[in-house]
Structures are given as structure tokens and as C-alpha cells.
């Protein structure tokens, strides 16, 4: 059985090649051609959790084990096991920490390409950690941004990442958001870091924060316009679902795969606010892990 460490996975995983694989995985998911049970987790009181995310999509059978310990750096660490989809034989175990980071930002890029205005020119990324870095890389691949802003609860971290990535460090979340066309919320905040009144008409919001204690977005932002999710499982209680969506009806949202396939409408106007609330999904891990194995096989 093949074992791939984080360095090998990082060398092999190509974001440009991953984007169309994710699009296909989302379409398969929304079409009912994937098998993905809701995420389950074992909690370590006051410290973190260990979640299990098995899934089957497009011939790929895999399972991810991921820990989320907010007080640790990195906060998310993972392993992914891939099995033969015809025989059930284990094929590979690989680092899932890098895959989790990259596929999350890449999925936001897929959502941004599908939902953001074509003329979007200002990107704001909130959070200067692993996901802030991932989004700065992935989302800039799908729109020609003329200005990229980065804000964090730690301005020093924002400055350091901004210097590395060519973004501009902004001292407050509000200043970063006002006037932005695309806003990516990439924090582990347990209370809203974004306010509806900060958003410009026609803005697109991606939120990947999934704290076990509270929401990253305020209710007014969630209900501001078109709401998009990976799967309507996101309306279930955490850890399967999002705090922001509790109490809302699942039909309040479209699935990303529905928008991509054209079975449900996406953005309705240039002034409409669109929100992509991501919880992370096993089909994303399956698409990324399969790509890693294909690229390794092609290079060997």
C-alpha cells in the first residue's frame, strides 16, 4: 500500500488541475451520484475534535480523519485513506492536512467563478492563517483582481502574509470589506466577523470558518441574497452542519453542483449579494486525493 507524506502531496497537488475536478465532484454530488454520510466527530472537552468523513464519488472511495484543535498550529490535521472502488482494497494512505487546506480554497474559487460578478476587481480575505493563504492563491485564479486586501485579528500576521503574497494588509475587517467585490472569510471565529452593512451591492462572500462554538457570519449576511452550500447537509446541527444555517429551511439554499449543472439558477443580477457557506465536504477530499494519485502515477 502506498504511503505519501505531506511533502509528497504538496509537490503533486496542482490547483489548476484540481478546479475542474472539484466542479465535476460537486455536480455528481448534487445529482445524487455520490455516497457521503454526514460528518461525525468525537470531542476532546475544551480542546478539539476528531472527525470522520468517508465518501464515494466518481469512482473514488476514500475516508478522511481530521482533527480540529483551535489552540494548535495548524488547527486542522488529517489523514486520507483511498480504497479501490471495485474491490474495496486499500490503495493509499496520504497526508490530508495539505489537501484540506488546498481543496477548501479551491472550492471557494469554484464558487467564486460560478457566482461572483465577471467584473469583480477587489478581493478581501479575512484571516491570515492556512486558509487565508489558500484563498489568496486559489481565488485569484478565477477573477482578474486589481486590488487584494488582507485583514486578520493579528495585524502582524496580516502584514507578513501580505508581503509574501502581494496583497495589501488592512488593519480592520470592516475597512477590508467595504467596497470589496469578493470577500473570503477564513477564520475560526465563534462570533460574526462580517456585517451585512459593510457589503457593497453585488458582493460575493465565501465563508469557510467552522467553529464548534458559534457563527462566522451574521444572520443578515446569510439571508442577504442567494445562499449557496456544498450540500444541504450543511443545515444539520454541527459538526455536520453550520452554525449560520441553524433554524433555516434547507430549501433556502442552492447547492453549488446545482448552479454548476444549470439545474438551479445562480446570480440573478449585478446587485445581488451571493453567499457561499462551506463546511468542507468529502467529495472535495476524494477529488484531490484521486488527482494526487493520478499525478504520481503519471510521473513514475
Taking only the tens place, the pLDDT of each residue in 69-103 is 988 888 899 999 999 999 999 999 999 999 999 99
Give the separation between CA 231 and CA 259, rounded to whole angstroms.
Answer: 12
Q: What is the mean pLDDT of residues 135-145?
A: 98
Number of Cβ within a 10 Å radius of residue 211: 17
Give the separation between CA 205 and CA 201, rounded to whole angstroms.
Answer: 12
Indicate if the alpha-carbon torsion angle 117, 223, 38, 73 is positive or negative: positive
Q: How high is the pLDDT of residue 70?
A: 86
Span(s) in the chain for CATH 3.40.50.720 = 117-277
Span(s) in the chain for CATH 3.30.1780.10 = 2-100+282-299
Q: Is the pLDDT of residue 180 over 90?
A: yes
User: Is residue 1 very low, low, confident or very high in pLDDT (cuts 50, 70, 90)?
Assistant: very high
CA 67 to chain centre: 16
User: Taking Cα atoms as reference points, which of 86, 68, 85 lies closest to residue 77?
Assistant: 68
Q: Average pLDDT of the chain?
A: 96
All cell numbers assigned to 59: 469512482
CATH architecture for segment(s) 117-277: 3-Layer(aba) Sandwich (3.40)
Q: 165 and 152 in contact (C-beta within 8 Å)?
A: no
Q: Is the pLDDT of residue 299 over 90?
A: no
CATH classification number, 2-100+282-299, choose in 3.40.50.300, 3.30.470.10, 3.40.50.1370, 3.30.1780.10? 3.30.1780.10
Q: 62 and 284 in contact (C-beta within 8 Å)?
A: no
Q: How high is the pLDDT of residue 71?
A: 80
Q: How high is the pLDDT of residue 300?
A: 60
Q: What is the mean pLDDT of residues 143-158?
A: 97
Q: What is the mean pLDDT of residues 132-146?
A: 98
> Considering the entire predicted model, what is its pTM?
0.96
pLDDT tens-digit series, residues 187-230: 988 899 999 999 999 999 999 987 767 899 999 999 999 999 99
List the beta bridge partners of residue 122.
147
Give the separation between CA 286 and CA 51, rounded to whole angstroms.
Answer: 16
Amino acid at each position: 500500500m502506498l504511503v505519501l507524506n505531506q511533502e509528497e502531496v504538496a509537490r503533486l497537488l496542482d490547483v489548476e488541475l484540481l478546479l475542474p475536478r472539484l466542479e465535476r465532484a460537486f455536480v455528481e454530488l448534487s445529482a445524487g451520484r455520490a455516497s457521503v454520510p454526514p460528518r461525525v466527530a468525537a470531542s476532546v472537552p475544551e480542546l478539539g475534535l476528531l472527525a470522520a468523513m468517508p465518501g464515494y464519488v466518481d469512482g473514488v472511495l476514500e475516508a478522511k480523519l481530521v482533527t480540529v484543535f483551535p489552540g494548535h498550529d495548524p488547527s486542522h490535521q488529517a489523514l486520507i485513506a483511498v480504497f479501490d472502488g471495485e474491490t474495496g482494497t486499500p490503495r493509499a494512505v496520504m497526508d490530508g492536512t495539505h489537501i484540506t487546506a488546498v481543496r477548501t480554497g479551491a472550492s471557494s474559487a469554484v464558487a467564486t467563478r460560478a457566482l461572483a460578478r465577471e467584473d469583480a476587481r477587489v478581493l478581501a480575505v479575512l484571516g491570515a492563517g492556512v486558509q487565508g493563504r489558500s484563498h489568496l492563491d486559489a481565488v485569484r485564479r478565477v477573477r482578474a483582481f486589481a486590488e487584494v486586501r488582507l485583514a486578520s485579528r493579528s495585524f502582524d500576521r496580516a502584514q507578513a502574509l501580505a508581503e509574501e503574497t502581494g496583497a495589501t494588509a488592512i488593519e480592520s475587517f470592516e475597512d477590508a470589506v467595504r467596497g470589496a467585490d469578493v470577500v473570503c472569510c477564513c477564520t475560526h471565529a465563534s462570533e460574526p466577523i462580517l456585517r451585512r452593512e459593510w457589503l457593497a451591492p453585488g458582493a460575493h462572500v465565501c465563508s469557510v470558518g467552522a467553529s464548534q462554538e458559534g457563527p462566522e457570519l451574521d444572520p443578515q449576511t446569510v439571508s442577504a441574497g442567494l445562499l449557496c452550500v456544498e450540500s444541504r447537509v450543511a443545515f444539520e446541527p454541527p459538526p455536520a452542519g453550520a452554525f449560520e444555517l441553524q433554524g433555516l429551511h434547507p430549501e433556502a439554499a442552492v447547492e453549488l453542483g446545482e448552479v454548476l449543472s444549470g439545474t438551479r439558477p445562480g446570480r440573478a443580477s449585478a446587485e445581488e449579494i451571493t453567499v457561499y457557506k462551506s463546511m468542507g465536504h468529502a467529495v472535495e477530499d476524494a477529488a484531490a486525493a484521486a488527482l494526487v494519485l493520478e499525478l504520481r502515477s503519471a510521473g513514475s
